[in-house]
Structure 1
Amino acid sequence: MKKYLYNLKYLVLGIIVSLTSCVNDDLPDVGDLEDFTSPTPFYNLTDVSSSEFDCNDVELWAKYEFNFQAGSNLAVNGTQYDWSVTPSDGVTIINKDLPILQQSIDAQLATVVALEKEIAKLEFKIPCESNTAKVAVLEATIADLKVQLETAKSEVTEEVASNVSDLETQIANLDAATFQDRELIFSFPNPGTYTVGLTVTDNLGKSAYTEKLVTVIQAVPTIPVPEIGEPSFDDGTLFDGTGDGRDSWRAPSSSKWGSVFQINTKSELGILPDGYQAAKFPADGTRVGYQEIEVTPGAEYVLSYFSALNVDAYGDITVSIISPNATTLAEAKLADNIIATRTENNVGRVKDVFKKHAITFEAGDHESVIILLTNSPGVEGRLDAFDIIVKQ
């Protein structure tokens, strides 16, 4: 019986080998199963739109551009791509390599481009600047930068000029973008909702389609970062190169707000968080710092700064954001006028060691707010290195 089972096993094995040998990839339609797999298309997109507004928030120009990159589960099968967009009126397409080549030119001419951007930034400020002294400083700075720009242009080497010329030639010779490119840039004429479709076809002729609704959002002005005068309390840091570190922090009336703080000076960099000077608040608690800054209604901001406190007795120091409705120090202490506040005491602190803090606040309906600096009687306190950003 075992002998027959043994022979039967090898008989079955022989049949399997025989059938397998009939499959030959060299013979068409012999032993092959039809491929029923279709492509699975997808695409990614990145918003690369840009815009510019004047100082009155009037739009100067806007480019609504998105970078699209197609993909498929059959990347090794020789896929073909075909884009579509609805509505299509006014929509243009751009070769994906164009911005890369333009950025390469800017990199070659880095010094020239940096000076050109700085000049443009300062020229942008002049039409909306009402302070004639600031306008004069801006114009003088621009004139100096233009001299530097001409010098930078004259110092461009032959090698750099040749590289730029080669890049410009590459731009001139770029193929026009087509709807069959795997990656391209769509430029939309206006904000709105567009249907962007993608058809992917494999090398066997099988195809599949996918689409997405792409919402192009209206360009809006960038919220400007408020300017804090003499943020680190150093001499000569006003717009015209003057200032004793405290001029931006003097209250409109010392009788209603108190006398401005004193200055703590160090002879070497690195001792203070920034620069050579810090604001010093004596232990009697009678000194204040007051600065009104412009803000954008509805925007949210983060104000950061450093504090240090002596430790020979209990003491604290306070930074507050106050409504411009307050006209005295007493009014600034009313709850209705306090937008945000933070108090740091000296419990667990080390003398002469600065710590960083931050206050987040919303501008609400205000077009300006007051940064108010005070300390309670007790010990000397110091503040330094104020900075403010728009919270995104």
Structure 2
Amino acid sequence: MKKYLFNLKYIVLGAFVSLTACVSDELANVGDLQDFTGPTPFYNTTDVSSSEFNCEKEELWAKYEINFQAGSNLSVNGIYYKWEVSPAEGVTLINKELPILEQLIDAQLAEVVALENEIAKLEFKIPCETNPAKLTVLNDQIDALEVKLAAAEANVSPAIQQNVSNLESQIAELAPATLEDRELIFSFPGPGEYTVGLTVTDNLGKSNYTEKTITITQAVPTIPIPEIGEPGFDDGTLFDGTGDGRDSWRAPSTSAWGGVFQINTKSELGILPDGYQAAKFPSDGSRVGYQEIEVTPGATYVLTYFTEFQTNTFGDVTVSIVSTNATTLAEAKLEANIIASRTDTNVGRVADVFKKHAITFEAGTNENVIILMTNSGVESRLDAFAISVKQ
């Protein structure tokens, strides 16, 4: 009985193999199910726009460019793409490889490009600088950087020059971007709403269409980071190489605000959060730190700094952002004049150990604000002020 069952098993298996062999991929419409599924198109975008403004926030130029990359749910069939944009007037197409090749050239000439950027940053400041002493320093810095730039250009090796030449040749030989490219860059003539559509067709002739509304917004100047003078309280850190670490922090009137803080000095780097010196406030609370900085109305900022306390008795430190309407220390403590404030105590603190803090504040309609530092009860130190624009 087992023998007959064994033979029957192989007879069935042989019949299955024979039936399978009758199905051939070489015969049209034999063995394949008809494909009723058409492509489902989609696309992704990356904003690669750029612009430049002068120090008075006037637009010098703007390029409204968006990288478009098409996709589909089909991964094996041949896929064909067709873009369309409306309104099309003034819209130009850019080969997606162009910015990549330009970045490769900059990478080859990294030192030269870095020096050119540093010069550009200084030249940006000159038209709006009204302080003759600062203008002199800026021009001297530019002259020194131009000497370094000339040396860097002269030191570009023949191999680097050849690499740059090869990349420039690749740029010259780039094929123009077309509406049939899977990935390309649209350059729009200006702000507004544009409808960008994509048709995807597979190799069976099936196609589908999708579209999105792309909103191009007006270029706006980058919010400048405010400049804090002597933020780490070290000697010689003013724009002209002078300063005793606290010259930027003196109040306009000692009688109205109090005397400037003292300086605590260390002989080695690494003991303080920044440099060799920190601001020191005696326990009697008689000293202040006062500095007025420029801000951009409507912007939000984050101010950071470090504190340290002696622990022999209770004490605190307060850092405030104050309206310039305040003309005395008493007025600076009025709620109407306080934009933001933070008070830290020495509870739970360890002597000679600094801790970092942050204050977030909105400039509102203010073009200038005051950074005010006060303390009470115990000797305290502050160091390493920094400010950033909150995005």
Give the distance between the partners of 2:49 and 2:90, measured in 1 at CA: 16
Q: Quote the Cα distance in structure 1 between the aligned partners of 2:18 and 2:101.
A: 61
Alpha-carbon distance change, 10 to 160 in structure 1, aligned in 2, over 3 angstroms: closer
SS in 1 for 2:136: helix
**Alpha-carbon shift at residue 23 of structure 1 (Å):** 2.6
Q: Is residue 68 of structure 2 the alignment partner of residue 68 of structure 1?
A: yes
Deviations 1:13-71 (A, max 9, x none): 88876655543222223343321110111110001111111111111100000111111
- The residue number in structure 2 matching 1:134 is 134
Residue 257 of structure 1 corresponds to: 257
Equivalent positions of 1:148-227 (< 5 A) are: 148-227=148-227
Aligned equivalents of 1:17, 1:145: Cα separation in 2: 81
1:116-165 Cα deviation digits (max 9, x unpaired): 11111111110011111111100011011111100111111111111111
> Is the aligned partner of 1:57 residue 2:57?
yes
Considering only aligned residues, what root-mean-square deviation do their CA atoms show, in Å?
A: 2.0
| Secondary structure of the corresponding residue to residue 71 of structure 1 | strand
**Whole-Å separation in 1 of the counterparts to 2:12 and 2:106:** 74
State the shift of 1:204 in Å. Answer: 1.4
Alignment partner of 1:382 is 2:365: no
1:4-19 equivalent positions in 2, closer than 5 A: none
* SS class of match (1:76): coil
Partner of 2:90: 90
* Residue of structure 1 equivalent to 2:324: 324
What CA distance in whole angstroms lies between the structure 1 residues aligned with 2:30 and 2:237? 85
Q: 1:236 to 1:21 in 2, by over 3 A?
A: same
The residue aligned with 2:276 is 276
> Take 2:166 and 2:335, find their aligned partners in 1: how far apart are those partners?
65
Distance 1:259 1:59 in 2: 44
CA distance in structure 2 between the aligned counterparts of 1:327 and 1:7, rounded to whole angstroms:
108
Paired residue type of 1:268: E
Cα distance in 1, alignment partners of residues 52 and 7 from structure 2: 87
Structure 2 unaligned blocks of 5 or more = 1-5
Kindly provide the amino acid, as one letter, of the partner of residue 347 in structure 2.
V
Amino acid at match of 2:236: G
Corresponding residue for residue 122 of structure 1: 122
Q: Are the structure 2 counterparts of residues 9 and 101 from structure 1 closer, same or farther at C-alpha, using a change threshold of 3 Å?
A: closer
- Work out the CA distance in 2 between the residues paired with 1:317 and 1:18: 90
Q: Which residue of the partner structure matches residue 144 of structure 2? A: 144
Cα distance change of structure 1 residues 228 and 21 upon mapping to structure 2, 3 Å threshold? same
- Residue number in structure 2 paired with 1:3: none
- Aligned AA (1:379): V
**CA shift in 2, pair 1:33/1:255, >3 Å:** same
Amino acid at match of 1:299: A
CA apart distance, 1:75:
2.6
TM-score, normalised with respect to structure 2: 0.95
Tell me, which stretches of 5 or more residues in structure 1 are unaligned?
Answer: 1-5
- For 1:232 and 1:321, locate their aligned partners in 2 and report how far apart those are by CA, in whole Å: 18
- SS of alignment partner, residue 44 of structure 2: strand
Equivalent pairs, count: 390
The equivalent of 1:345 in structure 2 is 345
Other-structure match for 1:363: 363
Mean alpha-carbon deviation: is it higher for 89-98 or for 21-30? Answer: 21-30
Q: Within 2, Cα distance between the matches of 1:179 and 1:20?
A: 45
Cα 1:162–1:18 shift into 2, 3 Å = closer
Higher mean C-alpha deviation, range 6-15 or range 122-131: 6-15
SS in 1 for 2:76: helix
- In the other structure, the counterpart of 1:285 is 285
Name the SS of the counterpart of 1:171 in structure 2. Answer: helix
**1:205 & 1:192 partners in 2: Cα distance?**
35
Corresponding residue SS for 1:111? helix
1:77 Cα deviation after fit: 1.4
Stretch deviating more after TM superposition (140-149 or 32-41): 32-41
The one-letter amino acid paired with 2:173 is N
Q: Quick one: distance in 1 between partners of 2:387 and 2:125?
A: 20
Q: Specify whether residues 171 and 10 from structure 1 end up closer, same or farther in structure 2 by C-alpha distance, changes over 3 A only.
A: closer
AA aligned to 1:335 is: E
- SS of the counterpart of 1:77? coil
Partner Cα distance (2:58, 2:341) in 1: 34
Counterpart position of 1:104:
104
The reply on whether 1:36 has 2:43 as its aligned counterpart is: no
Distance 2:373 2:59 in 1: 38
Structure 2 counterpart of 1:79: 79
Q: Residue 307 of structure 2 aligns to a residue in which SS?
A: strand
Shift of 1:80: 1.1
* Cα deviation 1:204-259 (Å, max 9, x = unaligned): 12111111111111111111111000000000100101000000000000010000
Amino acid at match of 1:23: V
Deviations 1:267-295 (A, max 9, x none): 11000000000000011110000000011
CA distance in 2, matches of 1:125, 1:314: 46
Q: 1:7 to 1:123 in 2, by over 3 A?
A: closer
Residue identity opposite 1:273 in structure 2: P
Distance 1:192 1:13, change over 3 A: same
